[in-house]
Structure 1
């Protein structure tokens, strides 16, 4: 039946029999739902107004009873503002449904109803739209009917784009992009750096070395794995040698006196040598050698390669150069994760922070706790009494296996990922979110409890229970869940943590992969959690040293720290782990907890949003003694949209963040290039005067940088690749290379000139070298091709690019540019509508844009694309 339902288009109609449901389900293609932003700053600000238009083109009218229309929406709806004679009901998380009232007028064929409602905050782009619509009829509660014809109507008015009265970030246009690209001046390829990220020292030498299959690898016995990796790469590039050995070699030499992970690469006419004191150092030297190879198409082999003689000395700036991938909100396949690991290894990133669970999903098989995946890894339509799976989130829809909401890694999958990462000198940090963001785990362990209670095994049922069954706490998390926080007063919660830790340790041991830490979350526990839990209140009363319910926070992480240290691991967590709630005049605030400082606790600090007041939080925590990984939302949240545009995917609550936000970040002086707030307003002089700077102790506690990809808006591998690339290259440069010269220039005017020169070199390196190298390595990787800028000047259309070297093609007949359209090489004199589009080295096109050059045709403005 499920397969049949998937094959049938379904109709939004109020019917009174299953037979009628089946009949009218076939007309669902005749129902259209359009969502549109009406205005931000609605009714005085702090909310936006939007509308849903439901149009019926089917012969049977939409009735005023017997149906509910479910959907996911990331904003809190002000339910009292709903119009259209319907009610909108919040279920939990981002799940809502629409229910008609008795006043609802049936929608006959060819008519529609418009429902308006206000929601918290603001909306700008299409990823803000409600999604995942499906219908449930009262007499068929287990037969969901998806509605597929759903559109977000593009915005055109300032009121739809301005988030509030303070918003100065413009809606992007080709003209604005052209102005932004002015510093991306075209540079000769001979002036570009040969190795990326920037090495400590690169000296070009006279002459060249001819590399072919006659050149053999002579490796120290310690470097057998790396030798094989290099040989595999050479076999990939070079066709078989026709003659005998030529006597030349690539040497992989061991020198234990060298700094950790440093390497020296020498290319001369006699051969190539890579010297290092560690396996990772040799691996990084190999990556640098490969980056000097001339570009060639994937799969194409050549007899020989000419390499410029050079001497390179290099070492990483930070030990931690990471990327966090959230696979809990929306799942990514094992194959996609392996692809990401290959990409990371090319650019010497060495930590995959693997976000494996959250409210909306648990993604790692734990064989002794099967409900974690049989329940916690699946999303679909449910009844409140059901504990068989989780509800739809982020538009995942009603069915269990047809979307990115369902999925997990088996034990074998995870071990394979660990082995693959380890071979590329990437360590994997598993994250198990606790005590908040834990709904998938809580519900799974509740299902386990129910199963074992039915078997009469009460003690075992309660062994890993994660919540108080009598908890009546009233709270809403940031993502609108009211039941997503573990009960940290229960011994069973710590039994669960120990069980999960031990199972993870065993998997790493089986993979032969290093495990130094487990990340145990800590972010966004909502106010009100535990306050209505009899178990928690009783526990606090029995432990007066906790003072009040807020004392449970430090109690929890003190225990987690103890559990991990007993297993020779250190604790990692989000910045909140280093904070503690305090009450003053009845109001709760958060301050740094010095008691956990200097205990080798590693914190990922995300909150550097300009204007929120925590711009120096990372430095305060480092100065207190916490080990800090810098991953501020303003610079390194890769799920933030690149630009303000309706068709640009991603969130933007922290910042619009293109690659320049990562490139211009200075780790020990993050205030240097942060000159505007999140709304584009220039900061007043002295804005940072009161902010705390890093002490020498604090500098020693900054262990690295990390990019982060939260996956609420990510549906599949192509979306993931679009959002992380090319931003990842800005991260790689800042995490590996020393501070650029401009960062240490005290004169602001000189610094700006130096920065613009450095940006031009970086932009040219990406456009002419690194992005084509990625094309050659992967064949197809869906990185974002930035739209070209355009202006009309002297009667001609001028185009430019963020990354010089990227191909641009255009049309003058209103058609979409293709890989066969005219190549842009000089200003376009044609009049009328000019469409243009960027292409990668293999002909894949980005989004097209257009501009009008002295339009003189019979087209009204609203008809222009």
Structure 2
């Protein structure tokens, strides 16, 4: 996890209130249509509402191109249109102008929509989706499904009888080519089937890159032939549940049976599953830091003799961040830049990773590598003298350039976190910018390709509301802030921007339901930021659509966070040093009710209208939000002791 600037980010992440609309603007005709009728995420480039509706009948025909790349898309479309409706779909693999739904590949390339765009026409008697390539048809299908009533998401037969959708003309294509989500499977283990479900969920919102974080201090998750201890030892640790980074160190006899890994056959299945859904999978092997699992398996990869006693991390504290970044390591979790065995090891790993993952990039980490164990190491000192290295960042730069050559020798492109910019790297190396925008600007000035995944907008492991609502991590990131994400921000050279992504680190994410809770709805916001033209983005419209998609997720049995409805607490002290608690909401149109007497407030309790001063003997402030007569937020219990901690002393 990227921890630097966490305190700064806490202060930077803001919020604002917006009215909730009940209509969306037609981008061509300047008219409005009900959001409950058309709620497409991400918002299309051009949408024109036509008169009338198309109604699906109980025996319909789909014309599909004779292209094997579309087989999965066709199965998806058929299942969505038949399981909840109970209707029969006939698939026609030749020209069928009479078909109810026609999927057509253009015979002449349409430059307006490019490689991933599509044109969707819904008329009273027929639906036509056109695209230049199969990926475009796949994304057009995702939009079509979103036009149907929410019950189309049901996993069993629905009681709905009328399967009508509005007549529209849509022309759509992505803003950027790289639209990614990072899934950290190293901190906690997720099965092959769960990774496939992750892919299924992300493509519904037109993501096309899965950044697969496979190695870290807590686990090595990919089989490497010839290095069996990576998975025999490195994939397993003591099972711990609690606050990550503050857990009691495991005892010597506690079983190390929590974890797992993907065989090479598993990886091939995942890669194919993703490719069938037009997703590229980028592997990440994080080095030289974040390498404790590898070192526990092969201690000779470390500069530190005590590494022979190291174990895979189980959640205990191993870093001191009190002085900022790079951290001070309590155990040496770095590969040794002065050890030739390290480069032989990495050549073996990268050779096999390159063969398993067809994607052009391999991500090699490079972030948060502590240097304190290197500083007085005789091997490192000898390396510095030999190579003319002056500083510890120079040493890491030497390591990076060596690994860069290994990656390139396998026919792949090297990508790393933005710390590697300090190492005099080749301009052919791509940068993933997670810290401040200055690093993205620097990278584009030096002609590096850049993918933006900034903590301030795109770190999906961050808390979504007040820290009392979720496992406490480094900062909070509200939905409205994620929606401000701009993958081509001012100051960067857009020629070198590939796109952006959201990152889901999983230190505090133990299972797939929590994965979903952390992704949605913030991944909606990032999706729209990566796909939709900036001028088409509108927070009020977006949130109205989000509420419609909450209903779809309910029917699809996908978990999501309702945090956007929670009150926001702002605490200060008055001139006489009393607490003053200001409450607000991320969206407008909500009322807040509260109690100090330990009872559970509803709309018949006092309504918040001005800052509150807690009674002298109160121990808890309980709050809940309503929309009209209906409770919509969660009941939050805020200890007065917590408010006291947050209030600055005057």
TM-score (norm 2): 0.77
Bigger radius of gyration among the two: 1
Give matches, 1:63-142, under 5 Å: none
Match of residue 492 from structure 1: 341
**Contact preservation (8 Å) 2:224, 2:352:** yes
For residues 256 and 593 of structure 2, what CA distance do their matches in structure 1 show? 35
For residues 346 and 85 of structure 2, what CA distance do their matches in structure 1 show? 50
Write the deviation string for residues 483-503 of structure 1: whole angstroms up to 9, x where unpaired.
111112322212211211222
Write the deviation string for residues 210-259 of structure 1: whole angstroms up to 9, x where unpaired.
11342211111123342233222222232134999994331111125131
Q: CA deviation at 1:617?
A: 1.8
Match of residue 27 from structure 1: none
- 1:211 and 2:56 correspond: yes
Paired residue secondary structure (1:847): coil
**Contact preservation (8 Å) 1:642, 1:657:** yes
Paired residue secondary structure (2:137): helix
Match of residue 554 from structure 2: 775
Q: CA deviation at 1:397?
A: 7.0
Match of 1:185 among 20, 27, 34: 20
**Contact preservation (8 Å) 1:212, 1:303:** no
Q: CA deviation at 1:557?
A: 2.3
Match of residue 86 from structure 2: 239
For residues 142 and 74 of structure 2, what CA distance do their matches in structure 1 show? 12
- 1:515 and 2:515 correspond: no
Write the deviation string for residues 629-681 of structure 1: whole angstroms up to 9, x where unpaired.
111111111122223443433423xx5310111212333336xxxxxxxxxxx
Match of residue 146 from structure 2: 291
- 1:849 and 2:636 correspond: yes
Match of residue 426 from structure 1: 279
- 1:264 and 2:264 correspond: no
**Contact preservation (8 Å) 1:622, 1:701:** yes
Write the deviation string for residues 741-799 of structure 1: whole angstroms up to 9, x where unpaired.
68xxxxxxxxxxxxxxx2221111111x111112222x1424344344499xxxxxxx9
- Cα gap change, 1:603 to 1:405, in 2 (>3 Å): farther
Structure 2: unaligned runs, 5 residues or longer: 25-32, 308-317, 321-325, 570-582, 609-620, 639-643, 645-650
For residues 283 and 148 of structure 2, what CA distance do their matches in structure 1 show? 35
Match of residue 406 from structure 1: 259
**Contact preservation (8 Å) 2:479, 2:564:** no
Match of 1:527 among 356, 366, 371: 371
- Cα gap change, 1:417 to 1:168, in 2 (>3 Å): closer
Paired residue secondary structure (1:442): helix
For residues 850 and 549 of structure 1, what CA distance do their matches in structure 2 show? 47
Match of residue 373 from structure 1: 231
Match of residue 300 from structure 1: 157
Give matches, 1:445-484, under 5 Å: 445-446=298-299, 465-468=300-303, 478=327, 480-484=329-333
Match of 1:359 among 217, 235, 240: 217
Q: CA deviation at 1:719?
A: 2.7
For residues 716 and 272 of structure 1, what CA distance do their matches in structure 2 show? 39
Match of residue 511 from structure 2: 716
Match of residue 47 from structure 2: 202
- Matched residue count: 570
For residues 783 and 633 of structure 1, what CA distance do their matches in structure 2 show? 19
**Contact preservation (8 Å) 2:62, 2:91:** no
For residues 725 and 602 of structure 1, what CA distance do their matches in structure 2 show? 28
- Cα gap change, 1:529 to 1:759, in 2 (>3 Å): same
Q: CA deviation at 1:828?
A: 4.2
- Cα gap change, 1:212 to 1:596, in 2 (>3 Å): same
**C-alpha root-mean-square deviation of aligned residues, in Å?**
4.3
Write the deviation string for residues 717-741 of structure 1: whole angstroms up to 9, x where unpaired.
2332222221111101101111126
- Larger RCO (CA under 8 A, 6+ residues apart): 2
For residues 345 and 404 of structure 1, what CA distance do their matches in structure 2 show? 33
- 1:248 and 2:99 correspond: yes
Match of residue 641 from structure 2: none
For residues 195 and 256 of structure 2, what CA distance do their matches in structure 1 show? 17
**Contact preservation (8 Å) 1:356, 1:363:** yes
For residues 117 and 90 of structure 2, what CA distance do their matches in structure 1 show? 35
For residues 809 and 271 of structure 1, what CA distance do their matches in structure 2 show? 50
Paired residue secondary structure (1:596): coil
Structure 1: unaligned runs, 5 residues or longer: 1-73, 76-119, 123-162, 171-176, 383-391, 447-464, 509-513, 581-592, 609-614, 671-692, 743-757, 792-798, 818-823, 852-861
**Contact preservation (8 Å) 1:275, 1:282:** yes
Match of 1:224 among 71, 74, 78: 71
Q: CA deviation at 1:261?
A: 0.8
TM-score (norm 1): 0.59
For residues 300 and 814 of structure 1, what CA distance do their matches in structure 2 show? 44
